[in-house]
């Protein structure tokens, strides 16, 4: 495997132990910026993925701790889909994303890192992006520090809150 140097990651590795419990439930309290939370509405939350495939990799989850879609109320389902849609628009505007991978991993065998709190991944894509590096070189290229990406996205998610509709 090739080595891609990213010395700024050492601070993260040394100062961020693995969280116990549900990351989404924990994200609802405390310092939103430290947890990468961009939006909290009546039914949904949006946060940065701490282990992104590429810059702007977001996680959109219901606030309620539920493991599958059938457990969500109709209102939660609607709010979740609207928040995914709004997040896509923000990523198009701010990050100039040209496409997206949007997915839901249900169950450990399907790749769910957090099995008991369903969440959608939104991965922005660009023509010629570097995601092929992971397949061919076992290397992931993240061109912008996560804190910078967070600061660029946050004002747009704050506007969602200020529009007066808690969940779009």
The pLDDT, as a whole number, for residue 19 is: 62
Domain range list for the chain: 19-162
| Cα distance between residue 55 and residue 60, in whole Å | 15
CA dihedral defined by 33, 37, 39, 45, rounded to 10 degrees?
-160
Q: CA–CA distance from 30 to each of 17, 24, 25, 26 (Å)?
A: 17, 12, 11, 8
Chain segment 20-35, per-residue pLDDT in tens:
789 999 999 889 999 9
139: left (phi over 0), alpha (psi -120 to 50) or beta: beta
| Cα distance between residue 7 and residue 5, in whole Å | 6
Higher pLDDT, 138 or 48: 48
Quick one: fold of 19-162?
Answer: HIT family, subunit A (3.30.428)
Average pLDDT of the residues of the chain: 83
Catalytic residue among 43, 57, 117, 119: 119
Higher pLDDT, 19 or 147: 147
Check if the beta carbon of residue 96 is closer than 8 Å to that of residue 126.
yes
Residue with tokens 């493991």: 67
Active site (annotated) includes residue 119: yes
Chain segment 28-83, per-residue pLDDT in tens:
988 999 999 999 999 999 999 988 888 899 999 999 999 999 999 999 999 999 99
Residue with tokens 């549900």: 22
Q: What's the token pair of residue 22?
A: 């549900």
Q: Which of 65-69, 111-115, 161-165 has the highest mean pLDDT?
A: 65-69
The pLDDT, as a whole number, for residue 29 is: 87
Q: Is the pTM of this model over 0.75?
A: yes
Q: What's the token pair of residue 167?
A: 């969940």
């Amino acid at each position: 495997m090739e080595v891609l140097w990213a010395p700024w990651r050492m601070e993260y590795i040394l100062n961020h132990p693995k969280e116990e419990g549900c990351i989404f439930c924990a994200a609802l309290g405390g310092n939103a910026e430290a947890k990468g939370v961009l939006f909290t509405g009546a039914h949904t939350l949006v946060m940065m993925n701490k282990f992104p495939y590429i810059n702007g990799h977001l996680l959109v989850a219901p606030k309620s701790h539920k493991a599958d879609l059938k457990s969500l109320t109709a209102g939660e389902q609607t709010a979740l889909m609207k928040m995914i849609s709004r997040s896509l628009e923000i990523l198009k505007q701010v990050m100039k994303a040209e496409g997206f991978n949007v997915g839901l991993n249900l169950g450990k065998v399907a790749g769910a890192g957090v099995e008991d709190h369903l969440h959608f991944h939104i991965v922005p894509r660009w023509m010629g992006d570097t995601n092929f590096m992971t397949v061919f070189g076992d290397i992931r290229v993240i061109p912008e520090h996560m804190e910078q990406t967070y600061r660029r996205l946050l004002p747009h998610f704050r506007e969602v809150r200020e529009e007066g509709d808690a969940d779009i």
